[in-house]
Structure 1
Amino acid sequence: MTVSTPTALPTSGPPIASARRRWAALVVLMLPVLLVSVDNTALSFAVPSLARDLQPSATQLLWLVDAYPLVLAALLVPMGSVGDRVGRRRLLLVGATGFALVSAAAAFAPSAGWLVAARASLGFFGAMLMPATLSLLRNIFTDAQERRKAIAVWAAGFSGGAALGPIVGGWLLEHYEWGSIFLMAVPVLVPLLLLGPVLLPESRDPDPGPVDPAAIVLAVLALGGLVFAVKAAGAGDGLLVVLVAAGVGVAAGVTFVRRMLTRPQPMLDVRLFRNRVFSGALATNLVAVFAFVGFIFFLSQHLQLVAGHSPMVAGWLMVPGLFTTIVFGLLAVRLVGPLTPAQVVVLGLLLNAAGYAVVALLGSEGTLLALLGGFVILSAGVGMAETISNDLALSAVPPEKAGAASAVSEMAYEVGAVLGVAVLGTLLNVAYRTGVDVPSGLPDDQAALAGETLAGAVEVAQSWPGAVGEALLASAASAFDHGVLLTAGVGAVLTAVMALVARRALRD
């Protein structure tokens, strides 16, 4: 694919020639990045508290985690296109305002259904935030080496936020209700709203494609249909429901691509995917995040509900692994030189596979050392693969397409997060439901709750002291940890296969 020469993209606002101003702008852009990553891991730690207070079903529990990244992933490309048209800084500030307001409302959701709706609304405004941050970076840092460092810091912000999430979330959950997890978005976004207009230059595509409402609907149907099919299969909703949902998703996806190919100014130039480096980098990003989010989903529950640690202690136990993503994300920049970018990415994916393999082979009966050690190894690989794959995806396209490319790159990240919970979480739920042995004599509602989720079993067991409660806890913990072994094996295979694909796709 022919890459055009860089052009002067910013159309208004302060100049970006000053190095001090460029790095100050990066600091401002890190605020929404930190917020989103803190929110994701902190919410994972709030799952047990949410489950106790709102009593969602197993499927609702997955949707509580997945509603936000699902909507966000479906709207990232449309919002990237909107940012190219109306201005990326303007879209960033609108998204920050909406995100803060909805976060405050989500803190007081009265039921699981309301919270799912609030999380979906956060995805709508989050879709305005993320592509704007990365596309503004692409246009602020025009020097390749400087841009790589900036993207490494950007990726480290995701990892740093993920590391802070368990600590901040653990402290909040020990002192306040789960709603405090959402309220923390407000003080983080206020500095962005004050400093963004001063430090961030406005930029837009001089020849943007039109916003396409039909394409937005197709994108939502495509991703939503496929994720719904995965969850329906895990919930045992019947083959017909699964096939219909999957069929809707596939048909919408095919129609979306055909529509983009036939329109004179498509919302997303799908021809970008003909660039093998661009497509390979996106696939790498998706699988790395898939592995990372899926691991956090079951590790956070094991630490609190099986090992019995408080949210704060569980958060500190995860910090070494999450901090490793920062270190190895920055190290990846230095490795490019002695190694090719493709070799760094492949090494990262192999570390992902090794982290899951440690759990699958050594994590029998929930051995804590194997779980935490595997998480450290996997986190090192995520830091390496994500940093370099993001840089490869952005540098493979013309700078005037930075908005679209960054939106697609963010979409890959969020789709990976959705599928990590949907696929691995569904496998874990199926293994738990088929493996748990609920003692006889429990009331029907309590038996159903205990057989649905690990959090439900813990809640029921606490109301039945003695042999019945102990037997239920032991069976639930064993079923959950056997499900962890299954999901770890699947994760190891998928990431190892992706390493082979990346080696071929990125070798040039």
Structure 2
Amino acid sequence: MPATRRAWLGLAVLMLPTLLVALDIGVVFLALPAISVELGASGVQQLWLTDVYGFLIAGFLITMGTLGDRIGRRKLLLIGAAAFGVLSIVAAFAPDAGTLIVTRALLGIAGATLMPSTLALISTLFPDAKQRGTAISLWALCQFGGAALGPVLGGVLLAHFWWGSVFLLGAPVMLMLLVAGPLVLPEHRGTGGAGGAGGTKLDPASVVLSLATVLPAVWGIKELATGGGTTAALAVLAGLGFGVAFVRRQRRLTTPLLDLSLFRRPQVGAILATMLLTGLFMAGTGMLVSQYFQLVLGLSPLTAALWYAPMGLAIGLGCVLTPAIVRRVSPRAAITAGLVLGVGGFALVAFAGTAAGLLPASAGLAVVAFGDGPLVALGTGMIVGSVPPERAGSAASTSETCLELGATLGMALLGSLAAAVYRALLVVPSGVDVDRARESLAGAETVGSPALTASAHAAFGSGLSTVAWVSAVAFAVLSVVAGRALKRRERQSRVEMPSSRQSSPSVN
């Protein structure tokens, strides 16, 4: 059934919180120096200001996706929007660093209610698979475009206003959502019973276990990437232990918090794993490129953000063009071709790392991101469309969690690899504090030795180049593995086609 005009208006409304949550992830980075001066934030407090928002989003995505299935997605979306708007104002006028950290944590929880709710409501508004694919592509454009534009917009605001202005964006956007949402967005929840969601309650033990899995694991991985010791390793191990307990509990529940059957479906399992791994290599390489722009090439934060923005815009463009692409080729061909394109993009970044190239680094990231567009758009649609409508929120949150977890792992693991290459290749002149020079590129530059600075720049570039080549090889392998998995699914779908015509169109 074709989507109505109201459905497209609903999509426009849903794009508002998607854009804002993505923007809010990046704007704080440029504001951090001003916040540190005005609020007297210590080094530890600065780390929490940048990390706590993402931590809480990642930790609560699964819980909020399932909660929306059970109490109503529009209801949860509007509750989250109201909370996000109020908390944005509180953050803008926070009197001290502690208050701002707590507010950012609460903003992360509110943000976790918005992302899976928007994606699940899209599946309700657009029952037709082709139109749903177009809608998801536009949704992805807002998500990744917002992440790219966040630092740029933050730089513009900070050039004219005080640091709190970067948080005030949330208030008017969420007010628009609260006014327009009830008019154009339908309410939808599960119908109860086995496999349904309505009429059941969240399992408190599952919620606790999901948080105990994600939060210490993410924190530990980030700490290990920056040289964290025994405490960080124990946090990761604790997260893994709680993860095992979480999985075992989900297998025993009639209506689990996380639908593990998703991972047993060849197509969906392959897509989830591919999304996690591509997110890992893109985020890890992207983080190093952003540091390369500022620390090696000497760009200002705003100029670096402008050169970094094409990455987010390119993945948005790739998502938007995907519906047109799959009218000419199969989804499998679009996804695998995009991954192969990413191999070339990473090769450009690797060249930039050894040749001090600004344009190749920016262009290479954009090529990788554009190639990832079909995977994000088609993969998200496959995941959400693979479950009954009453489980769409849970499926959406699973997709989002894979992306968040992949990005966190990428920044930690690839950052550690680049740091190891940097330390191995750095040549420290005699009479220089070796430990300080090897700690980081920023530490080496504070020594004031031209020879050490030149060596540090070259070593950092080699680290970036190494990471980019590893990412290129990984994308090449992923293109083969994902292509084979999707090809098997295509064959299975052709075999099942006669019977599937008599089954529910909402279940693949």
Which string of whole-angstrom CA distances, capped at 9 and with x for unpartnered residues, describes residues 404-431 of structure 1?
1111112122222322323333444555
How far 1:476 sits from its partner (Å)?
4.6
State the one-letter code of the partner of 1:291. Answer: F
How far 1:118 sits from its partner (Å)?
4.0
What secondary structure is seen at the aligned counterpart in 1 of 2:354? Answer: coil
How far 1:205 sits from its partner (Å)?
0.9
Report matched runs for 1:57-456 at 5 Å: 64-107=49-92, 117-207=102-192, 208=197, 209-238=200-229, 240-364=230-354, 366-429=356-419, 431=421, 452-454=439-441
Which string of whole-angstrom CA distances, capped at 9 and with x for unpartnered residues, describes residues 171-215 of structure 1?
123334544333322232221122112221111111115312221
State the one-letter code of the partner of 1:505. Answer: A
Kindly tell me: are residues 474 and 60 of structure 1, through their superposed partners in 2, closer, same or farther at Cα, counting changes over 3 Å?
A: farther
Kindly tell me: are residues 223 and 435 of structure 1, through their superposed partners in 2, closer, same or farther at Cα, counting changes over 3 Å?
A: farther
Kindly tell me: are residues 309 and 247 of structure 1, through their superposed partners in 2, closer, same or farther at Cα, counting changes over 3 Å?
A: closer
Counterpart position of 1:5: none
Q: Are 2:486 and 1:506 aligned?
A: yes
Which string of whole-angstrom CA distances, capped at 9 and with x for unpartnered residues, describes residues 251-305 of structure 1?
1111111101112322222122211222222222223333333333223333233
How far 1:44 sits from its partner (Å)?
4.9
The separation in 1 between residues aligned to 2:58 and 2:98, in whole angstroms, is: 20
Kindly tell me: are residues 184 and 426 of structure 1, through their superposed partners in 2, closer, same or farther at Cα, counting changes over 3 Å?
A: farther
The separation in 2 between residues aligned to 1:411 and 1:269, in whole angstroms, is: 13
The separation in 2 between residues aligned to 1:51 and 1:478, in whole angstroms, is: 31
Kindly tell me: are residues 93 and 104 of structure 1, through their superposed partners in 2, closer, same or farther at Cα, counting changes over 3 Å?
A: same
The separation in 1 between residues aligned to 2:93 and 2:37, in whole angstroms, is: 15
Does 400-409 or 175-184 show the bigger shift?
175-184
State the one-letter code of the partner of 1:188. Answer: V
Kindly tell me: are residues 243 and 18 of structure 1, through their superposed partners in 2, closer, same or farther at Cα, counting changes over 3 Å?
A: closer
Counterpart position of 1:494: 474
Kindly tell me: are residues 65 and 383 of structure 1, through their superposed partners in 2, closer, same or farther at Cα, counting changes over 3 Å?
A: farther
Report matched runs for 1:11-90 at 5 Å: 19-46=4-31, 64-90=49-75
Kindly tell me: are residues 66 and 288 of structure 1, through their superposed partners in 2, closer, same or farther at Cα, counting changes over 3 Å?
A: farther
Runs of 5+ consecutive residues of structure 1 not aligned to the other structure: 1-15, 462-467
Note if contact 1:83-1:403 (Cα within 8 Å) is conserved in structure 2.
yes
The separation in 2 between residues aligned to 1:46 and 1:441, in whole angstroms, is: 37
Equivalent residue pairs, number: 481
TM normalised by structure 1 equals 0.84
Note if contact 2:60-2:109 (Cα within 8 Å) is conserved in structure 1.
yes
State the one-letter code of the partner of 1:386. Answer: V
With CA pairs under 8 Å and 6+ residues apart, which has the higher RCO, 1 or 2? Answer: 1
The separation in 2 between residues aligned to 1:94 and 1:314, in whole angstroms, is: 36
Does 483-492 or 74-83 show the bigger shift?
483-492
The separation in 2 between residues aligned to 1:388 and 1:456, in whole angstroms, is: 43
How far 1:65 sits from its partner (Å)?
4.2
Kindly tell me: are residues 162 and 255 of structure 1, through their superposed partners in 2, closer, same or farther at Cα, counting changes over 3 Å?
A: same
What secondary structure is seen at the aligned counterpart in 1 of 2:127? Answer: coil
What secondary structure is seen at the aligned counterpart in 2 of 1:203? Answer: coil
The separation in 2 between residues aligned to 1:81 and 1:268, in whole angstroms, is: 8
Counterpart position of 2:500: none
The separation in 1 between residues aligned to 2:347 and 2:100, in whole angstroms, is: 35
What secondary structure is seen at the aligned counterpart in 2 of 1:308? Answer: coil
TM normalised by structure 2 equals 0.84
Does 190-199 or 470-479 show the bigger shift?
470-479
Kindly tell me: are residues 135 and 486 of structure 1, through their superposed partners in 2, closer, same or farther at Cα, counting changes over 3 Å?
A: same
Note if contact 2:344-2:472 (Cα within 8 Å) is conserved in structure 1.
yes
RMSD: 3.3
Note if contact 1:260-1:267 (Cα within 8 Å) is conserved in structure 2.
yes
State the one-letter code of the partner of 2:8. Answer: W
What secondary structure is seen at the aligned counterpart in 2 of 1:494? Answer: helix
How far 1:25 sits from its partner (Å)?
0.6
State the one-letter code of the partner of 1:170. Answer: G
How far 1:332 sits from its partner (Å)?
1.6
Kindly tell me: are residues 179 and 478 of structure 1, through their superposed partners in 2, closer, same or farther at Cα, counting changes over 3 Å?
A: farther
Kindly tell me: are residues 295 and 42 of structure 1, through their superposed partners in 2, closer, same or farther at Cα, counting changes over 3 Å?
A: farther
The separation in 2 between residues aligned to 1:441 and 1:180, in whole angstroms, is: 46
